[in-house]
Chains A and B, each alone.
Chain A
Amino acid sequence: MSTRGNVWIFIEQEGGKIAEVSLELVCKATELAKRLGTKSEAVILGDKLDGKFDVLFHYGCSTVYQIEDKALEPFTVLPYAQALVKLLKQHKPNILLFGATLKGRELGPRVASEMLCGLTADCTDLQIDDFEDKINKANYKDKLMQIRPAFGGNIIATIVNTWEDPQMVTVREGVMKLTTPDTSKKGKIVKITPELSPETKVMKVIERVRKPKSVDLKKASIIVSGGYGVGTKENFKLVEQLAEALGGQVAASRAAVDAGWINHDYQVGQTGVTVRPKLYIACGISGSVQHVAGMNESAKIIAINSDPEAPIFSVAHYGIVGELNDVIPKIIKAFKAKV
């Protein structure tokens, strides 16, 4: 009989709505738990959560720990950290996953520091394997391999947490795939009222302004993306026209966002959104590793660039060496003629 703890997911919610990345993590956690012979369990914090969290069971969780307190809405880091640390000490999960969101990346380190355990940021893959620590001559069985890009995406590192559980990671949004939910699955909800100390309530939220994201790139099946090679804000309209003509969504590389041609919601890549559409058209994008990390799983990639040596061509299925203001109108014309 193993004494190993379960695989936990921190479920991020805003106004009772569960973040997409949390569901992605439930799917991954369920897969890891299956491999380890344990269970996947979710923990969600807030106030007056109405408990419509069946979707967590449908994706594979067996238990949802629902922690409720007035101080947990809206999110502030101190009460969240304390409530979570108490629960971790009580249940000793083997693994704890956070989405690498603003909240997850603020809360995760605070919790890991207090638990004195390791934390690996922005993982893009998680696997179970054994680990031999050659320096300290120690062997570890069935550890979580925490795989992440580092040095600006130029290397991929596999990290292992060798201290006490939980093995904690934050995971980048959009990289873990959703499985097919099974709506017949049910589970247990455990309601918890945390006893939060007064020191956790010293921060005040004076004003909070949120506007919905202007675009959901992850849902687009055709993406037309512009990079620095587009040249000017005026020229960026070409990219938009192509997207419109193909019934696709416009997007951009970081360079185009930094140049001020389009806002950050449209950014694909390591510091933006990870996408895998049916078709990705990269216009004037050189293809830095940071950008490629966010789009190289697209089913079809067309690269248009005037520089035949641009690295984007090495991940593309179709390469067009040419000027955008020549090539894009030709594509629009060809498509309109065929449809």
Chain B
Amino acid sequence: MKRQLMVFVKQVPDTKNISGEAMTPEGTVNRAALPAIFNPEDLNALELGLQLKEKYNFKVIVATMGPPNASEVLREALYRGADEAILITDRAFAGADTLATSYALSCCVKSIGNVELILCGRQAIDGDTAQVGPQLAEKLNIPQIAYVEEVIDASGKSIKARRAIEGGYEILESPLPTLLTVIDANEPRPASAKGIMKYKKAKTRSEVAKQLRDADYTEAAVLAEKETILRSKNLWIHEWDAAKINADVNRIGLKGSPTKVKKIESVVLKAGKVVSIEPSEAGINGLIRELIEDHTLG
């Protein structure tokens, strides 16, 4: 059997390019103002996974947990060279904090079995917590190497990787399976034209069903037939719900989340009384004199 590695990715709102107000007047996060993108460091994790595929002949399985349209990031991963994609989606997962999320992801890994390496981006730009990677490793009871810059060797039963530490780096060796969280230390490859041509047709069951409904085909047999065709061409994106991955309903979603959000507030930069200084010699001389007099300078 081919060696397997998994890359967990996330579709996130693009918090670095916010258009309009980040908050609605009702005080909730205005996701409409934030375009959905492939979480940047997850692209680094995918890149590392694809390099390992090329070097050690791993099969790369990419998975995400999210709403049905998070399938978009899976197609993006297929365009770049991933072999198989899984969308973990279920209303029961909604409201999950990092503990409930890592539990659900661990159920997914267990459902697949024989995964030697798990790669995650260090953190997602919506929450910036960097918690899901280490928590997933703990849930699977396997070692973790956080902040990986590059893999030095994964030919045998252990992995040697270089990772960032405070003020330097470390080379660690860990027996497989191991989980890596990956930082922005490689150059993610772009989607290949060939990949896009092939995988833009990759679909989840829900997407196929919707397509058929729109065309007024509703018989289950048509859906089943379509599934067989897509599977045979490796264009089938798996869509797994909580039952499929044997997740305990008490440990997922809001119910499985110990942390609750008490309130959220939009950040409003305090509108201070800024003193305008003319960029002339006189203006600047005046400012410097004032700062020397109040002992800020000199």
Residues A110 and B135 in contact, CB atoms below 8 Å apart: yes
Q: Which of A113, A209, A299 contacts B169 (CB 8 A)?
A: A209
Known: A77-B134, A289-B269, A315-B272. A118 touches B262 (CB 8 A): no
- Which of A103, A105, A152, A163 is the most central at the interface, judged by chain B CB atoms within 10 Å of its CB? A152
Which A residues are CB-close (under 8 A) to B164?
102
* Shortest distance from the beta carbon of A323 to any chain B beta carbon, whole Å: 8
The interface bits of chain B over 240-273 (1 if a CB of A lies within 8 angstroms of the residue's CB, else 0) are 0000000000000010011111111111011110
Known: A77-B134, A321-B279. A154 touches B267 (CB 8 A): yes
Assembly CA distance A278 to B130 (angstroms): 33
Residues B284 and A120 in contact, CB atoms below 8 Å apart: no
Is B44 an interface residue when CB atoms closer than 8 A count as contact? no
- Which of B13, B169, B263 is the most central at the interface, judged by chain A CB atoms within 10 Å of its CB? B263
Interface residues on B, range: 35 or more
Is B215 an interface residue when CB atoms closer than 8 A count as contact? no
* Shortest distance from the beta carbon of B166 to any chain A beta carbon, whole Å: 5
Residues B15 and A330 in contact, CB atoms below 8 Å apart: no
Residues A152 and B259 in contact, CB atoms below 8 Å apart: no
The interface bits of chain B over 115-131 (1 if a CB of A lies within 8 angstroms of the residue's CB, else 0) are 00000000001111111
Known: A113-B102, A206-B172. A154 touches B18 (CB 8 A): yes
Is A322 an interface residue when CB atoms closer than 8 A count as contact? yes
Is B235 an interface residue when CB atoms closer than 8 A count as contact? no
Assembly CA distance A314 to B133 (angstroms): 38
Which residues of chain A (1-37) have a CB below 8 Å from chain B? Answer: 14
Q: Which of B173, B257, B284 contacts A327 (CB 8 A)?
A: B284
Residues A151 and B22 in contact, CB atoms below 8 Å apart: yes
Closest to B288 in A: A334
Assembly CA distance A215 to B188 (angstroms): 31
Is B220 an interface residue when CB atoms closer than 8 A count as contact? no
Is A106 an interface residue when CB atoms closer than 8 A count as contact? yes
Q: Which of B15, B259, B287 contacts A160 (CB 8 A)?
A: B259
Is A211 an interface residue when CB atoms closer than 8 A count as contact? yes
Which B residues are CB-close (under 8 A) to A106?
134, 144, 146-147
The interface bits of chain A over 185-211 (1 if a CB of B lies within 8 angstroms of the residue's CB, else 0) are 000000000000000001111111111
* Shortest distance from the beta carbon of A198 to any chain B beta carbon, whole Å: 12
* Shortest distance from the beta carbon of A272 to any chain B beta carbon, whole Å: 13
Is A133 an interface residue when CB atoms closer than 8 A count as contact? yes
Residues B147 and A102 in contact, CB atoms below 8 Å apart: yes
Q: Which of A77, A135, A152, A213 contacts B146 (CB 8 A)?
A: A77
Is B48 an interface residue when CB atoms closer than 8 A count as contact? no
Interface residues on A, range: 35 or more
Majority DSSP secondary structure for residues of B touching A: mixed
Which A residues are CB-close (under 8 A) to B131?
105, 108-109, 112, 119, 121
Majority DSSP secondary structure for residues of A touching B: mixed
Residues A121 and B129 in contact, CB atoms below 8 Å apart: yes
Assembly CA distance A320 to B283 (angstroms): 9
Residues A117 and B297 in contact, CB atoms below 8 Å apart: no
Assembly CA distance A110 to B133 (angstroms): 9
Closest to A150 in B: B127
* Shortest distance from the beta carbon of A111 to any chain B beta carbon, whole Å: 8
Is A63 an interface residue when CB atoms closer than 8 A count as contact? no
* Shortest distance from the beta carbon of B96 to any chain A beta carbon, whole Å: 12
Closest to A111 in B: B138
Closest to A202 in B: B175
Is B185 an interface residue when CB atoms closer than 8 A count as contact? no
Closest to A208 in B: B170
Is B37 an interface residue when CB atoms closer than 8 A count as contact? no
Known: A102-B164, A318-B274, A318-B277. A202 touches B134 (CB 8 A): no
Residues A315 and B279 in contact, CB atoms below 8 Å apart: no
* Shortest distance from the beta carbon of A15 to any chain B beta carbon, whole Å: 12
Is A162 an interface residue when CB atoms closer than 8 A count as contact? yes
Question: Residues of A at under 8 Å CB distance from B?
Answer: 14, 76-78, 81, 101-103, 105-110, 112-114, 116-122, 131, 133, 135, 145-146, 149-164, 202-213, 222, 246, 278-279, 287, 289, 292, 296, 299-300, 302-303, 311, 313-323, 326-327, 330-331, 333-335, 337-339
Q: Which 9 A-B pairs have the closest CB atoms?
A: A152-B15, A322-B279, A118-B258, A163-B258, A210-B168, A118-B259, A121-B129, A113-B138, A109-B134
What are 14 A-B contacts defined by CB distance under 8 Å? A76-B172, A112-B99, A112-B131, A113-B134, A116-B258, A135-B254, A158-B261, A205-B171, A296-B270, A314-B269, A327-B284, A334-B287, A338-B298, A339-B298
Question: Residues of B at under 8 Å CB distance from A?
Answer: 13, 15-16, 18, 22-23, 29, 34, 97-99, 102, 125-135, 137-139, 143-147, 160, 164-175, 254, 257-267, 269-272, 274-281, 283-285, 287-289, 291-292, 296-298
